[in-house]
Amino acid sequence: MVNTPAPASGWLLEVNNLSCGYGGDSVVRDVSFALSHGDIGCLLGPSGCGKSTILRALAGFLPISHGEIQLQGQAISLPGRTLAPEKRKIGMVFQDYALFPHLTIADNVGFGLKDLKKPERRQKVMELLNLVHLQDLADSYPHQLSGGQQQRVALARALAPEPTLILLDEPFSNLDTDLRRRLSLDVREILKTLGISAILVTHDQQEAFAMCDQIAVLQSGQIQQWDVPYNLYHEPSNRFVASFVGQGGFIPGKALGPDIIESELGIIHGNRAYKWQEGTLVDVLIRPDDIVYDEHSDLKPKVVEKTFAGTSTLYRFRCSEDTEFEVLFRSHLDFHIGEQVPVRVEADHLIAFERTA
């Protein structure tokens, strides 16, 4: 399966100043991002943030009121002009699989290949089923397959017409946690093997981080940050991204310099220089992996909650009413509610924002 080369700009997909919604109300406002050929992007955010609305606009199911969507340098959506979904060379994988129950697995995958002669269609279908490791189930029916197998069939069907882009609308949300994790990695490997670009919609951060090259974090219909997973976690652009991505919470502090903050956890030295004046009140993000056990430390916060998770235990510590934070320790470090535990800050990335209230 070979895709048409990306346009000279280097972008396969370009979304410029996109606004759209329903019944005259804008759900998405002034959204812009671009995806390179072969990359997997993600629209990540809480329910109601607009991620599925953007996906519908990309698919051609929803007209746009402002901006432009380009695919391989061709405008496929403009205000008042929308290229029909079937003409976009975009595949779609739905949350509920949307397989035809009366058709075999092979016939489901080959549904969009009716222009091919029967032997060619069968060969193409079997190549795709082999790719998703379902070649032995070609003559079975959807009800005979597990949820994970049905989702693989849905992916194979979407890949069959050799699309330029695949859209994945929360495709693993109906599966259990372990299967969802495995299948997301399998789908990434398949897409990378074929060089197919994709956009995933999800609210699951672990899924987004494991599967995607670029992620847009959305809030209230706007992109807060479009970046690689590492930067979203370690270099969030604002408080919402910092709070939404990963675990962690804010503690109060005071700037002693551009990269030094005083807090109840002691003096925190950062890896970046902020433009604060000395004395500026700030909130510092503390991740569970920013705190380490240190039997020689004078800092001894109290355990107020603990959650055992097998190989690790998540603790909530309290220094004062204003200063609580979570810490992830290996499970052999077993502390009790009310116990004071010696710890210290070991943060490689300083993430802080000026206090606004």
Its domain, for residue 269, covers 248-354
- Within this chain, do residues 22 and 42 fall inside the same structural domain, yes or no? yes
| Residue finishing a domain among 197, 212, 241 | 241
**Mean pLDDT (the chain, rounded):** 92
For position 8, what pLDDT does the model report?
Answer: 46
- Within this chain, do residues 161 and 272 fall inside the same structural domain, yes or no? no
pLDDT tier at 101 (50, 70, 90 boundaries)? very high
CA 303/CA 33 separation, integer angstroms? 43
Crossing angle of helices 147-159 and 118-131, rounded to 10°: 130
2, pLDDT greater than 50? no
Start-to-end CA span in the chain (Å): 55
Q: How many domains does the chain have?
A: 2
Query: What is the CATH number for 217?
Result: 3.40.50.300
pLDDT tier at 161 (50, 70, 90 boundaries)? very high
Mean of pLDDT values over 252-274: 90
Domain contains 2: no
| Residue finishing a domain among 218, 241, 264 | 241
Query: What is the CATH number for 314?
Result: 2.40.50.140
Domain contains 173: yes
CB contact at 8 A, 249 and 285: yes
- Within this chain, do residues 283 and 343 fall inside the same structural domain, yes or no? yes
The tens digit of pLDDT for each residue in 17-33 reads 999 999 888 899 999 99
Mean of pLDDT values over 153-163: 94
Instruction: Decide: pTM greater than 0.85.
Output: yes
Which strand ranges, in their side-by-side order, compose the sheet holding 352-354? 266-269, 260-263, 249-257, 281-286, 352-354
Domain contains 4: no
For position 350, what pLDDT does the model report?
Answer: 85
Domain contains 52: yes
The tens digit of pLDDT for each residue in 311-353 reads 999 999 999 888 999 999 999 999 999 999 999 998 878 899 9
CB contact at 8 A, 218 and 327: no
- Within this chain, do residues 254 and 117 fall inside the same structural domain, yes or no? no
Nearest to 212 by CA among 171, 161, 157: 171
pLDDT tier at 9 (50, 70, 90 boundaries)? low
What percent of the chain has a predicted confidence (pLDDT) above 90?
A: 82
Mean of pLDDT values over 242-254: 92
Mean of pLDDT values over 136-153: 94
